[in-house]
């Protein structure tokens, strides 16, 4: 990577004997320069913010101490198009502490041709070079700083930078960050100051990238009842994504009378680029952009939501213990929230015999599998303990401040954060797999166990809707 950074750098003049390690690394002057670089790297005192940067990511998460925080303005992605790649900045979050600004941001990079990397028509991968290159960042017109980059699952790249700042700089309402590596230049990244007291939302539920979101059952909109149900359970913010604009009318109707707030991102893949829009409209890859939306939703809620969870479609329902709403779990976790990264939730298939002709899924299907599906084959296991959440494809509820990578059923927490497994009897996800076809009988576990645990909420739903 160091050699690559030396070859790629175009913008920082020539080296002098007084140059620091960063400058020497960028200036090709033969073996003598490399010898000098390693000597300086071994003996030089790193800048204050560089040292604080390392210490910051080694320590266990603690309650918020910084009152000055910034996030990507309007939570909208920003894109730049180079000769060979397109770069999409999905989210950014920065905190000021002790005259330093610590920035995390997430990007998805794809080539400018019609090729893309995926796995069996599932989630798109970012170009691998995006997390193997050496990135440099600059705050406003300040000095360029070395940044670190990594990828949790290969679907995006997370870049972290540290900048020295003064009070007038962080006292403003908006900052601009520049980021580049070689001839790749990310778009200017605008950061807007967040409110200093508390979070705006307690729980944000994100959808996957939907298409044909107007589907109905017995004359009732499936998306509309999905929204109504989760609002009744205590969700106070939804982030909806689609590839065809089909959720527009439904979310407008719901928003008129809803207590919860809805953020809507229509034509999400096409909003990023023509190429990604085309991919999302192909039959074999309609859900391929969902992982990009999931990353955007997670990062957009840093500093805004206590918790974030992605339910990929309107056939997945959060289901607390009978007679309880979601606060039964959220209240229990609150005292330890600053330490928690991921809360994995098991998913149970619901289907089997139709209970009634009701349009409400929670009344229509009241038979489930007797337990969550587990992956027992050695090649697919993530943990030797059978019951571990890494051995079953469930759903993850995340503290966005303590999670840096997401991928469908899994998430990766930051160093030092803890993951808390919740018993499925307390909180789970009901997966209504028989909405459009009989699927329960053909799956690993048939839906034969009677379960009316959500019937108590029906009178409230019917009265309001």
**Strand, helix or coil at 345?**
strand
CA 130 vs CA 98, 188, 190, 415: distances in Å: 30, 17, 21, 22
Residue 297 contacts residue 239 (beta carbons within 8 Å) = yes
Question: What average pLDDT values come out for the chain (465 residues) when binned by 10 residues?
Answer: 32 39 38 40 52 72 76 93 96 91 96 86 89 94 92 95 84 91 96 84 96 89 95 96 94 84 95 95 90 96 96 95 95 95 95 86 93 78 84 92 93 94 94 86 82 95 86
Token digits of residue 401: 């401040």
In eight-state DSSP terms, residue 442 is G
Q: Which helix (H) or strand (E) holds 296?
A: helix 290-300
Instruction: Write the CB contacts of 221 (distance below 8 Å, at least 6 apart in sequence).
Output: 214, 215, 250
Beta pairing partners, 413: 403
Question: Whole-angstrom Cα distance, residue 103 to residue 196?
Answer: 17
Token pair 């599906």 is found at 373
E strand or H helix at 91, and its extent? strand 85-97
User: How many other C-beta atoms can be found within 10 angstroms of the C-beta atom of residue 1?
Assistant: 10
Token pair listed for 177: 């960050």
Cα-Cα-Cα-Cα dihedral sign, residues 129, 134, 139, 142: negative
- Partners of residue 308 on adjacent β-strands: 204, 398
Contact 165, 194 (CB under 8 A): no
pLDDT at position 36: 41
Looking at the DSSP bridge assignments, the partners of residue 80 are 87
At which residue do the structure tokens 């910051």 appear? 56
The answer to whether residues 288 and 407 touch, using CB atoms and an 8 Å cutoff, is no
pLDDT of residue 392: 82
Instruction: Specify the pLDDT at position 69.
Output: 92
pLDDT of residue 64: 65
Give the separation between CA 12 and CA 184, rounded to whole angstroms: 15
- Distances in Å between the alpha carbon of 71 and those of 67, 76, 145, 414? 13, 10, 20, 19
154 CB-side CA count, 13 A: 9
Q: How many residues does the chain have?
A: 465
CA atoms of 455 and 26, how far apart (whole Å): 65
Domains annotated on the chain, with CATH: 2-41 (no CATH), 69-193 (2.60.40), 201-464 (3.90.550)
pLDDT of residue 278: 95
How many C-beta atoms lie closer than 10 Å to residue 462's C-beta? 11
The alpha carbon torsion through 321, 327, 331, 334 (nearest 10 deg) reads 110
Q: Which residues contact 64 (CB under 8 A, 6 or more apart)?
A: 338, 401
């Amino acid at each position: 990577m160091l050699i690559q950074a030396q070859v790629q750098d175009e913008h920082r003049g020539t080296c002098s004997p007084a140059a620091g390690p960063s400058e020497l690394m960028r200036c090709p002057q033969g073996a003598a320069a490399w010898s000098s670089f390693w000597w300086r790297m071994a003996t030089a005192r790193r800048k204050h913010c560089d040292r604080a940067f390392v210490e910051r990511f080694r320590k266990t998460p603690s309650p918020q101490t910084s009152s000055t925080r910034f996030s990507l303005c309007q939570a909208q992605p920003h894109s730049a198009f180079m000769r060979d790649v397109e770069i999409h900045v999905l989210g950014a979050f920065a905190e000021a502490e002790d005259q330093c600004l610590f920035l995390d941001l997430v990007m998805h990079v794809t080539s400018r041709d019609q090729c893309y990397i995926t796995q069996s028509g599932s989630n798109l991968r970012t170009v691998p070079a995006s997390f193997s290159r050496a990135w440099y960042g600059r705050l406003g017109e300040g000095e360029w700083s070395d940044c670190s980059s990594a990828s949790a699952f290969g679907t995006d790249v997370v870049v972290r930078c540290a900048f020295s700042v003064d009070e007038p700089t962080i006292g403003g309402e908006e900052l601009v960050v520049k980021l580049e590596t070689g001839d790749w230049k990310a778009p200017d990244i605008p950061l807007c100051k967040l409110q200093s007291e508390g979070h705006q939302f307690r729980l944000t539920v994100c959808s996957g990238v939907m298409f044909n979101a107007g589907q109905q059952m017995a004359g009732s909109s499936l998306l509309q009842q999905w929204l109504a149900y989760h609002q009744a359970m205590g969700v106070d913010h939804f982030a909806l994504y689609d590839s065809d604009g089909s959720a527009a009318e439904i979310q407008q109707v719901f928003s008129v009378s809803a207590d919860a707030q809805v953020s809507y991102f229509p034509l999400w893949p096409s909003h990023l680029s023509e190429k990604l829009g085309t991919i999302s409209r192909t039959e074999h890859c309609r859900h391929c952009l969902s992982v990009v939306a999931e990353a955007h939703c997670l990062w957009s809620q840093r500093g805004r939501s206590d918790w974030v969870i992605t339910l990929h479609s309107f056939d997945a329902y959060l289901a607390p213990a009978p007679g309880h709403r979601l606060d039964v779990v959220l209240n229990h976790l609150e005292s330890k929230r600053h330490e928690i990264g991921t809360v994995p939730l098991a998913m149970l298939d619901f289907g089997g015999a139709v209970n009634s002709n009701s349009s409400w899924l929670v009344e229509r299907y009241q038979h489930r599998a007797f337990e969550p599906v587990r992956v027992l084959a050695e090649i697919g296991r993530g943990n030797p303990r059978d019951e571990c959440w890494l051995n079953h494809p469930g759903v993850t509820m995340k503290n966005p401040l303590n999670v840096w990578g997401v991928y469908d059923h899994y998430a990766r927490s930051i160093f030092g954060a803890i993951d808390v497994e919740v018993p499925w009897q307390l909180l789970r996800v009901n997966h209504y797999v028989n909405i459009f076809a009989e699927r329960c009988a053909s799956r690993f576990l048939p839906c034969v166990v009677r379960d009316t645990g959500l019937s108590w909420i029906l009178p409230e739903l019917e009265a309001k809707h």
